[in-house]
Every structure is written in C-alpha cells, then in structure tokens.
Amino acid sequence: MTRGKIIGTGSFVPERILSNDELQLIVDTSDEWIIRRTGIKERRIASKVKDESTADLATQAGLKAIEMAGVTSSDLDMVIVGTVTPDRQFPSAGCMIQSKIGAFKAAAFDVSAGCSGFLYGLTMAHNAIKAETAELILVLGVERLSTIVNWQDRSTCVLLGDGAGAVVLSASGNGRGIMSTHLQSDGTFWDLLYSSYERSLLPQSLECIDLKPFQLKMEGNRLFKRAVGCLSEIASRALRQNNLSSKDISIVIPHQANIRIIMAMAENLGIPMEKVYTNLDRYGNTSSASIPIALDEANRQGLLKDGDLVLMASFGAGLTWGAAIIEWAAC
Ligand code: COA
C-alpha cells in the first residue's frame, strides 16, 4: 500500500538566544531551578525587525526540507502547517508560506492542535497520500510563542521558545515510510493550557484591553501528570498496532516540553534515554515545531539510518496527543 515517506527535513530557529541567566533579570527564578525542573538552558526568541515572523521562520525551514528532498515548490500538492501562533487570524500561515515559497498549485491551510499540531498535520498528509489525493506535501510545525507568553509569569515564560521545522512527504517508492499515526484529544481539560484571548469579548467592551488578550495560561502540575500518561499510552498503542515491542524502536523523537516528562515516558515504555533525542536544553518548548526541529537535527547528524524505526509522540493544549511510527528511508 502507498504510504507517506519523508524525503526531506528542515528546521530554522531565530538568531536571538535568551538564556536562563537573562530570565533571572526579568522574573524571580534561577538557572538552577529551570534546569532542575525542566532541563531547559536557553531558548530562541524571534524578532520582527529581523524578518522572523511565523511565516518567515516556517519558510526558512520549509525551503531546507524542499532542498533536501530535491523537489521544487511548484510540485507541492499541499502545504499543511501546525501552529497556534499564525501571524494573522486569517489568512492562514499556510497561505502566507505558500506565497513565500512559490507552491502555487498547492492547497494550503493550518491545523490548530496545540503542541500536537505537527503530528496532526503529518497524519492528514499521510492520509491524503494513502487516498491518492496528493503525492507531494510540505508539513510544517512553527511557533512564535514569545508573542503570547506572559513575561511576568515565571511558571510559564521560562518554558517556551520560537522556531520552525518541516518535512516533505511523498508517496513511498520502496515501501518504507509512515507505518501508522494515532491521534487523540480531550477537550474536557482545555483549561489546563490556553490563550486568554476570547474573541467574543472583544467587540463588547473596551475593558477587555485590560485582560492582556493573548496571554498563555497553564496549570503546569496537572498538565505534567496528564502528559506522562497520555504520551506513554499512545506510544504503547502505536507499538501494539504494528506488533512491535519497545526494543524494536531505534530512536524516539518526543515533543520537547520538559526533560522529566520525556524521562518518565521513556521509563514507562522501557526505552533507554540513549535512544531518545532531546534538544530542549537549547530551544525550550517550541510547541508544534519541537518534533520537526528535533527530527531534522537527528537526520542531519546522521542518527537516522535506512530501515530504522522512529517513534514520535506529542502532547499539548486541547488537550491533544499523538504518536507515529516511521520505517525510515534515508534522505
Ligand atoms: N522559578 C522558580 N520557582 C518557580 C518557577 C520558576 N520559573 N516556576 C514555578 N516556581 C515555583 C512555584 O511558584 C512553586 O512555588 P511554591 O511551592 O512556593 O508554591 C514551586 O516552584 C513548585 O511549582 P510547581 O508548579 O509545583 O513545579 P513543578 O515541579 O510542577 O514544575 C513545571 C513546573 C511548569 C516546570 C512543570 O509542571 C511542567 O513542566 N509542567 C508541564 C508543562 C507542559 O508540559 N506544558 C506544555 C504541554 S505541551
């Protein structure tokens, strides 16, 4: 059966590094606390004056993936973007990126699924390829979380960062590619992580200006426990569906929210941390972008070999969570 196969990866992060030491000057925190509780040492912050809008970041990542894939933008059938921080409410980041890269025959759109946006987009792309409604698709995860962070809230502003990652998916030639994807959500817990911007409030009263509309709110502790459970459960489900054991997995590319969440998930699955790729020490939590950035880094470092089984797992606002297993074909 035709599968989606990744034939190119790319990523791009803003130039500006914001270290834990600098954050100590903004909120009551310490480098020691942030590293011990999260594993994060620094994150990247986008700047509008340096042309680092959401669409700009994604365009850079997408062009790298397209170059590696050896295809041209005009051949793309779809551009799918996981993001919760598009530059505008509309049009979509997908359409802005389409225009910047010249993907003129593509259908372009965004997927809003919190930190799971990339895996949701990858699933839609894989399904379109299986249904033979598309042959070549650019899937991106991109965020500028710095634009919605409350920089006075130490419990969230230390966690997040900006960046973009991308893959080009094509119909598989030699049978290798995505083995399965798995998605789930539970809106009952939407209020564990959300943006305080509520559209219906805006026309009614100018008082809403005081609400500081776009700020991110999070109940970290309760989210932490759900993240570990959901990630472990959906990764186990992905293994079961493919009759695989955790020993068969060559490398895990998890969502990069907190090193303690990743370690707990790996322990639950019985996968040693040596098989888990992490880069959150350098980027923090980049939401939808975290998995494709990590995948691109692992790929460019030569850590992904032909035939390797790659497990990806994500968890985020919604709540949403997801997993995918890929039989890797070198690119
Ligand atoms: N610096 C110093 N102290 C901080 C702090 C910071 N940046 N942030 C919170 N604290 C304090 C709290 O105020 C609290 O103090 P108190 O005991 O005096 O009340 C104490 O540290 C413990 O807070 P708590 O929230 O229980 O810490 P924690 O161990 O749960 O770690 C998170 C907090 C946010 C790092 C953790 O809960 C987490 O990572 N949650 C999941 C995040 C996540 O996955 N988000 C996105 C999903 S994609």
Residue nearest to ligand 1 atom 34, measured at CA: 220
Give the atom of ligand 1 at the shortest distance from the alpha carbon of 227.
44
Looking at residue 212, its pLDDT comes to: 52
Q: Which residue owns the Cα nearest ligand 1 atom 12? A: 155
Range of the domain at 17: 1-331
How many domains does the chain divide into?
1
Q: Residues 248-262: what's their mean pLDDT?
A: 98
CATH code, domain with 113 = 3.40.47.10
Instruction: Give the H/E segment covering residue 54.
Output: helix 54-69
Q: What does pLDDT average to over the chain?
A: 93
pLDDT category at 17 given cuts 50, 70, 90 is very high
Q: Quick check: is 157 catalytic?
A: no
The Å distance, Cα 187 to ligand 1 centre, comes to 23
At 173 the pLDDT is: 67
Q: Which sign does the torsion angle of CA 265, 271, 277, 281 carry?
A: positive
Percent of the chain with pLDDT over 90: 87
Neighbours of 147 (CB within 10 A): 16
Q: Is the CB of 116 under 6 A from ligand 1?
A: no
* Gap between the Cα atoms of 128 and 58, Å rounded: 22
Q: Is 285 a catalytic residue?
A: yes
Whether 258 is catalytic: no
Q: Which of 95, 255, 258, 299 is catalytic?
A: 255
- Ligand 1 neighbour 37 (Cβ under 6 A): yes
Catalytic residue among 182, 285, 299, 331: 285
CB atoms within 10 A of CB 58: 35
Ligand 1 pocket, residue 257 CB under 6 Å: yes
263 alpha carbon, distance to own chain's centre: 18
Element of type H or E holding 331:
none
**What is the pLDDT at residue 48?**
73
What confidence score (pLDDT) does residue 215 get? 81
Ligand 1 touching residue 258 (CB < 6 A):
yes
Mean of pLDDT values over 106-111: 98
Among residues 95, 115, 157, 331, the one annotated as catalytic is 115
User: What is the mean predicted confidence (pLDDT) over 80-87?
Assistant: 96
Q: Is the pTM of this model over 0.75?
A: yes
Task: Report pLDDT for 208.
Answer: 45
- Taking residues 290-302, report their average pLDDT: 98
* Torsion angle in degrees (nearest 10) through CA of 49, 54, 57, 61: -170
Q: Find the mean pLDDT for residues 300-317.
A: 97
